[in-house]
Chain A
Amino acid sequence: MSEEIKTPNYAGAMPGDNPRIGVYVCHCGSNIAGVIPCDQVVDFAANLPGVVHAAETMYACADSGQRLIKEDITRHGLNRVVVSACSVRMHEPTFRACVAEAGMNPFLMEMANIREQCTWAHGHDREGALEKAKDLTAAAVAKAAFLTPLDMIEVPVSKKALVIGGGVAGINAALDLAEQKIPVILVEKEPTIGGVMAQLNKTFPTMDCSI
């Protein structure tokens, strides 16, 4: 498996690589744009070295926002994309998939979190939030310039499930998996499965018995 992974000799520098970065500043309705003027972040980003295109978008994650990014990749010959929007925990997979659809390696996309970690946390310090949003966007642009294409690692899958806990949720999960022909080990620490459910008399709202 390891030999399949593309490992650049000098990760971080790509000789002869000339970054053409596109920056997208998301309004997220009023979640971001209600606190900071997004156009000012765009103007700021547009002048950063390496950035060839910067634009605002009402919802970067919406179909229209993603279409804009994909079209721009071809139109402006972008080879890096920065999305200044929400948390990576929210939409990193979304924008990785988006640039991949336009033929770009998904790891050439970088996000700046200007919602959870900026406008939502500094709602009463608009100036501070604007400066921070610019800095976070610049940091994402700077990192993006040195991103290298990477391929996901494929790992094999052991076709067996472990369910820990033999109460009503665990039993149901085990049955559903087994009915899909997946072998299951159902582990219970007590001598019998059933959990709290087995100790109950009738149960609401149907008043039928629990076992």
Chain B
Amino acid sequence: MVDAARQPLIEVKAYTEVERVEGFVGNFKVTLREKAKYVRADRCNGCAACAKACPVEVPNYFEMNLAPRKAAYIPMSQSVPLIYNIDMDACIHCYKCVEACGALEAIDFSMEDKMVEEEIGAIVVATGFGHFDPTPMTEYGYGRFPNVITAMEMERLNNSAGPTRGSLMRPSDSKSLRRLAIINCVGSRDKRYNSACSNFCCMYAIKNALLLKQMIPEMDISIYYIDIRTPSKGYEEFYDRAREAGIKFIQGRPAGITEDPDSHQLFIKSEDITLGRVVEHEYDMVMLNQAAIPQPDQNHMSSVLNVAQSPGGWYMEYHPKLRPMDSPTDGIFFAGACQGPKDIPASVAQGSAAAARASRILHSDTWQIEPTVAVVWEDRCVSGKGQACGICERACPYGAIDYTKGISAEVITAKCHGCGACVGECPHDSITQLHYTDAQVLAQIRTLLAVEPEKKILAFRCQWCSYGGADLAGTSHFEYSANERGLRVMCSARMDADLIYEAYRLGAGAVLFSGCHPQDCHYITGQIAGAKRAARLDKMFARMGMNPARFRTEWISAAEGDKYARVINEMQAALDAIPQDELKAEIERLKPEMEKKLSKLNQIPGVEEAMIQVDFIVSEMQNKAVPV
């Protein structure tokens, strides 16, 4: 901690939140909110005179609310930076602190939150984890029985810098204790709360048990566990030490804790799997080894950073094995428990690894980004012909399009992120996206639907989420109908209505319009544009009398492989439920309507020439197809 504060190249901004992250790799624009401390950092010398003078006491979060702090406070004596805070929610404005501070004049009640903008090349996200609150598990009585405490409360109660100066005592009567139980997996490996294992708590329980045994050798300590997991270097030996030290290990998840209301003694009833029977033991105190959970504000931060979350709420890495530190956004990296529960050695290792990943960028003068940007066909843009339009400018989430009536729209390439929203929205087909041109995507659609299109489910997927979801379905071997034919664009915003019409014109059985969840969009508001278009299409198809089973919109994250497989299987079942003759009749009936909508398709530059060539491929495929 102190090393970080002392290092001249590190600027520690405590009591500061990340408000907004814009831009892209090498060029992030980050807005930070420096929250008002009401104490001037340049004047405060950490003398504590203000805290001594302050008459207000409130619980201290740092001490798990087991000890008070003043309204003028630092969370702990070793705080870095050593600058006091005035807690304005608790302050009674008696100004005794101002008086105590005296000539230093560090206290300034006129301070306000300050917004600071920073230009950043790469970001390491190390926002950590939260602790499961065992209150809802009424069977353990946390909150009702004073001597049932959490692991973090134990941590403060036996800490020499904690509220009891390290002497462990029972909250009910401040007496020392002789019999302690530790219950593992409280809120973890529990389908009601979090089904995942929290990774470090077995070792953590053993650590506390050993520590207390060293302090009070005669203490009787039992650890209730489901499995003991000690896979890292030196960990099994640590477990051996605990057993040799006489710590009891009872395999069984306790069914409940009861309390004698007079003595506040606790009784744990549990199955002891080793003995093969139900046992009940009495304890002076019980520590609940609570699950590690995502930070309470992790959902919020995930939308600020535009990074997705895995099942369980942790940040989702680009690839769990090959790129565990990378977020899917180039230039943003994860370190520590924000990506999933991990212990200190693993967090430290990931911190270094994330730093190494980030420094690849920060040591370079320039960085390469993909050229899949939008391009305007100047001769087609109606604005150039004097017509008012500007739809592309409004569609762009990045302000990357310059529109002035009378001049054809212009893409500012350096600002373009390549989502394709402008391409999807332009009603005059005057913009295209490099590497995802209409000709290229139409070529894919025609080939994917070359043979028996009425049996096919054509799935439009975005690069970042639903394509990843489809990948995960495969990686997890979640099987789904092989009639699915997927194609990829960068964002659901690129999924032009023309592309959907073309699928139905060709006779596609069903179409899936899929992308990310709104808060996960890689392109700020791209998904919103995609969702609006999908809703418009849905209404239009309903008016046309299309069977609703044939068009579906779903938002599927890269973590939702199971959902992708389920959606495709449901679509297949719904398609199967339409009688063949009815389906074929509907396809034929709607074909002219689709053709009408696509009447100008061949005017899009490159499309007509390309489709002539694609039709050679299509007829080759049709000739080859084995008649069923």
Contact = CB atoms under 8 A, between A and B. Distances in A.
Contact of B125 (A148, A160, A165, A207): A165
A142 B124 contact: no
A198 B336 contact: no
A156 B26 CA distance: 6
Interface string A187-211: 1111111111111111111010011
B610 A146 contact: yes
Contacts, number: 432
Contacts of A128: 481-483
Contacts of B478: 121
Contact of B7 (A154, A161, A166, A175): A175
Contact of B373 (A5, A163, A179, A184): A5
B373 A122 contact: no
B119 interface: yes
Interface string A96-130: 00000000000100000101111011111100110
A141 B616 CA distance: 12
B209 to A, nearest CB: 11
Contacts of A193: 1, 4-5, 12, 14, 80
B231 interface: no
A44 B352 CA distance: 49
A109 B570 CA distance: 34
B contact residues, range:
35 or more
A185 B120 CA distance: 9
B610 A12 contact: yes
Nearest to B446: A142
Interface residues of A, number: 106
Query: Main secondary structure on chain B at its contact with chain A?
Result: mixed
B354 interface: yes
B15 A176 contact: no
Interface in B325-351: 335-338, 343-344, 347-348, 350-351
A167 interface: yes
A192 B336 contact: no
A65 interface: no
Nearest to A189: B17
Interface string B374-387: 01010000000000
A7 B378 CA distance: 12
Contact of B81 (A116, A151, A192): A192
A50 B443 CA distance: 13
A49 B618 CA distance: 9
Given A156-B365, A187-B32, A174 B4 contact: yes
A150 to B, nearest CB: 4
A182 B370 CA distance: 25
B74 interface: yes
Contacts of A10: 377, 605-606
Interface stretch (B96-104, B152-160, B505-513): B152-160
Nearest to B295: A165
A176 B359 CA distance: 9
A99 to B, nearest CB: 15
A163 B488 contact: no
Interface stretch (B265-273, B430-438, B533-541): B430-438
A75 interface: no
B440 A184 contact: no
Interface in B397-413: 411-413
A20 interface: no
Contacts of A11: 375, 432, 434, 437, 439, 605-606
Interface in A147-162: 147-148, 150-162
Contacts of A203: 207, 344
A153 B235 contact: no
Contacts of B128: 165, 167, 169-170, 195-196
B73 to A, nearest CB: 8
Contacts of B355: 172-174, 176-177, 180
B28 interface: yes
Contacts of A9: 605
Contact of B124 (A156, A170, A194): A170
A68 interface: no
B371 A153 contact: yes
B123 to A, nearest CB: 5
A174 B10 CA distance: 7
Nearest to B151: A200
Nearest to B484: A132
Given A123-B479, A184-B11, A188-B15, A143 B155 contact: no
A201 B158 contact: yes
B93 interface: no
Contacts of B64: 199
Nearest to B16: A187
Contacts of B578: none
B26 A13 contact: no
Interface string B432-475: 10110111110110111011000000000000000110111111
Contacts of A49: 613, 616-617, 620
B446 to A, nearest CB: 7
Q: Which of A123, A139, A159 has the most CB of B within 10 A?
A: A139
Contact of A183 (B9, B26, B365): B9
Contacts of A165: 125-128, 336, 338
B413 A1 contact: yes
A121 B126 contact: no
A192 B446 CA distance: 60
Given A121-B565, A142-B617, A186 B336 contact: no
A175 B18 contact: no
B351 A121 contact: no
Contacts of A169: 126, 128, 335-338, 347-348, 350-351, 354
Nearest to A196: B128
Contact of B482 (A132, A150, A174): A132
A129 to B, nearest CB: 6
Given A49-B613, A190-B75, A164 B125 contact: yes
Nearest to A127: B482
Contacts of B594: none
Contact of A172 (B158, B234, B352): B352
A130 to B, nearest CB: 9
A205 B624 CA distance: 65
21 contacts: A10-B605, A13-B606, A90-B319, A117-B486, A120-B477, A121-B473, A128-B482, A132-B482, A146-B440, A157-B366, A158-B26, A160-B362, A161-B358, A176-B355, A176-B359, A191-B75, A192-B78, A202-B207, A204-B235, A207-B207, A210-B344
9 residue pairs, one from A and one from B, having the closest CB atoms: A169-B336, A128-B482, A12-B606, A12-B439, A172-B351, A170-B126, A116-B474, A13-B606, A176-B355
Given A145-B613, A179-B7, 12 more contacts: A118-B474, A123-B477, A155-B366, A170-B127, A173-B126, A175-B10, A185-B11, A188-B12, A188-B13, A188-B15, A197-B344, A198-B78
